[in-house]
Amino acid sequence: MVGAAFEVAVATGDHVRACQLPAPQTRRQLEQDERKDCPTALASQDLPRTRGIREVEAYGRQALVRLSGDTLFLSLFTAGWKVVAAGCTPMPDEPYNCLIKGA
């Protein structure tokens, strides 16, 4: 699963591998915001450490992956599932606050 692969790559410091898993717009936004290439930009993010998937909810071409310590949002593209947001925490009566997300 893409969500688990992303979290493992980030946790092990394999930011080159982790940068293959976000959606194109999410990757571009991260690089633009940080003014660095994706691996360097991703390494500078304070993404939470996780300990496995707790729940997956899929709604057509969108999915929410809850891990212990993080929440990811995924979308299905022609190339497969991609991470569109990571490092997300729920906010009371508001949308999730995500460290990494597309515009």
Which stretches of the chain drop beneath a pLDDT of 70?
103
CA atoms within 13 A on the CB side of 82: 18
Q: For 4, list phi and psi in degrees, rounded to 5.
A: -65, -40
**CATH number of the domain at 2-101, out of 3.40.395, 3.10.450, 3.40.50, 1.10.10?**
3.10.450
- Residue 36 CA to residue 79 CA, distance in Å, equals 25
Answer for the pair 74, 5: CB distance below 8 angstroms, yes or no: no
pLDDT in tens, 40-65: 999 999 898 887 889 999 999 999 99
Report the predicted TM-score, pTM, of the whole model to 2 decimal places: 0.91
CA distances from 88 to 35, 68, 85, 97, 100 (A): 21, 12, 7, 5, 8
Class of residue 79 by CB neighbours under 10 A (exposed 0-12, middle 13-18, buried 19+): exposed
- Rg, C-alpha atoms of the chain: 13
Domain residue limits, the chain: 2-101
What pLDDT does 82 receive?
Answer: 97
